Structure 1
Amino acid sequence: MSPVLDARLEAAFGLIAAPGGAVHADIGSDHARLPIALVRRGDVRACLIVEKTAGPCEVARREVRRAGLTERIEVRLGDGFSPIFPQEVHSASLTGLGARTILGILNRAGSALPAQLVLQPNDTTGQLRAWASSHGYHLTDERLAPGFWTYTVLKLERSSGSDPAYQGLPEDVAQAWGPHLLRRQDPLLLAQLRAQHARLTEVTPHGRAAVRRDLELIERTLRLWA
């Protein structure tokens, strides 16, 4: 029986594709829920779990043993991609971490970075989209998931040339909120923008210049849907 995934992990699950039964890496897996679901009802042949400290590492190993999947899921102790060899995995996910933490892991990964990445930060996503554009990855899909707050899940795939996802959209707006979400007029994004607009409108008269810039960006975004 597969573990029950919350909305954000279910969204990540839906974006992970491993053609030919490839190997997927989950960096910072918590209780191994996503890897267990991937090998039981996904396309992946096997998973690698990487945990930075001994406690979470043992928790993940225990959950893998309970699931009877020790032959298909391996748990390694290490920082980010450091325990993974180049080309060892086809794809990787980083979920439930802050965007800065994810960026640090990606920037330290070197040749271990796979061709496909699924990222779910717990805060802003604009800097991850910008990282993809400057590191040879295209943003091929993105989804929003409800939870404690609205989570964004990004799918990046290594590709050359400019990213077609951004064509015809203001770059700053698209990087802030997501070109696929904007084109789909995602209802969760619209609700999020309206809520932020209402909050920032109240504080703008007393706010800093950065607050006014944020409000102006939201207003330009909402005008795209007018």
Structure 2
Amino acid sequence: MLDARLETVLSLIRAPVHADIGSDHAGLPLELVRRGHIERGVIVELNSGPLENARQAVARAGLGDRLDVRAGDGLDPLAPGEVPSVSLTGLGALTMRGILERGAARQVRPDALVVQPNDNPAPLREWALGAGYHLRAERLASGYWTYPVLRFERADGPDPAYDGLPREAARRYGPLLLHEASALLRQQVHADVTRLTPLAAPGRPAALELATAQAALAWLDGQTSLDAGAER
């Protein structure tokens, strides 16, 4: 059984071969195979404990012929062009960005990336804008906190997902999520405005964060007004 966070990640993955980086007990890749989302998978683990957990889970499931468990750091165990799809979950956005940058330096650039950072995903959106990836889907999953899940795909030219949106708000909260204007996103933005308001003295980083949250809230309120006008 996967929690809501990993179920959301799973929903954005479909590929003949997929690599899950930092899989721990291998729950996600096991379900990807069982549900037919992938034909084969690679599981990468850096530390010995999670590596052994993954090997045992794959062996118990009888899927050793379809899931290859490898020791290594990030994308290092993958050869250029070996896998078209990669997921990274449960890490900080800056850590994930470093893994992707090091992989790109070795020419490991999958066609599709699904990432679920445990914090502000803006560094990943910024990386994608300069690395030849477009944002194709993004979701919010409820859990211990609200988890963003993003799918990037390799593409040429500027990413059209950001067109017409306040740029910093779109990088922080997600261009596709802003267009969707879900109740969960509204809760997140309102919570940020409430949290940052007493901290936002002029010149402090919190002032810039508050301005970004307020821009997102203004966009969402504008979308609500447009929707209400269309209904009338």
Same-fold status (TM-score > 0.5): yes
The superposition leaves residues 138-192 of structure 1 with CA deviations (integer Å, 9 ceiling, x where unpaired) of 0000000011110000100000011111111121111111000000002111101
The count of corresponding residues between Structure 1 and Structure 2 is 219
The residue type equivalent to 2:125 in the other structure is R
Contact 2:166 2:215 in 1 (8 A): no
Distance 1:210 1:94 in 2: 28
Distance 1:120 1:96 in 2: 6
Could you tell me which of 81, 85, 92 is aligned with 2:75?
Answer: 81
Could you tell me whether the CA contact under 8 Å between 1:81 and 1:113 is conserved in 2? no
> Aligned-pair RMSD on alpha carbons?
1.2
Q: Which of 208, 218, 223 pairs up with 2:218?
A: 223
Deviation digits for residues 64-96 of structure 1, max 9, x if unmatched? 011111111010001111111111111000000
Q: Contact between 2:199 and 2:207, CA under 8 Å: does it hold in 1?
A: no
User: Which residues in structure 2 correspond to 1:125-140 (within 5 Å)?
Assistant: 125-140=121-136
Which of 41, 46, 61 is the equivalent residue of 1:47?
Answer: 41
User: Which of 132, 139, 142 is the aligned partner of 2:138?
Assistant: 142
- What is the percentage of aligned positions where both structures have the same residue? 51
Q: Give, in whole Å, the separation in 2 of the partners of 1:182 and 1:138.
A: 16
Q: Are residue 189 (structure 1) and residue 176 (structure 2) matched?
A: no
Q: 2:88 aligns with which of 94, 109, 113?
A: 94
Structure 1 unaligned runs (5+)?
none
1:27 aligns to 2:18 (yes or no): no
1:142 aligns to what SS in structure 2? strand
**Offset of residue 43 of structure 1:** 2.4
Aligned to 1:12: 9
> TM-score of the superposition, structure 1-length normalised?
0.94
Q: Distance in 1 between matches of 2:178 and 2:72?
A: 37
1:58 paired residue number: 52
The equivalent residue for 2:31 is 37
CA drift of 1:208 comes to 5.7
Q: Aligned with 2:205: secondary structure? A: helix
SS of alignment partner, residue 48 of structure 1: strand
State whether residues 26 and 50 of structure 1, in contact with CA within 8 Å, keep that contact through their aligned partners in structure 2: yes
Q: Which of 173, 176, 180 is matched with 1:177 structurally?
A: 173
CA distance in 1, matches of 2:197, 2:83: 46
How far apart are residue 38 of structure 1 and its match? 0.2
TM-score w.r.t. structure 2 length? 0.91
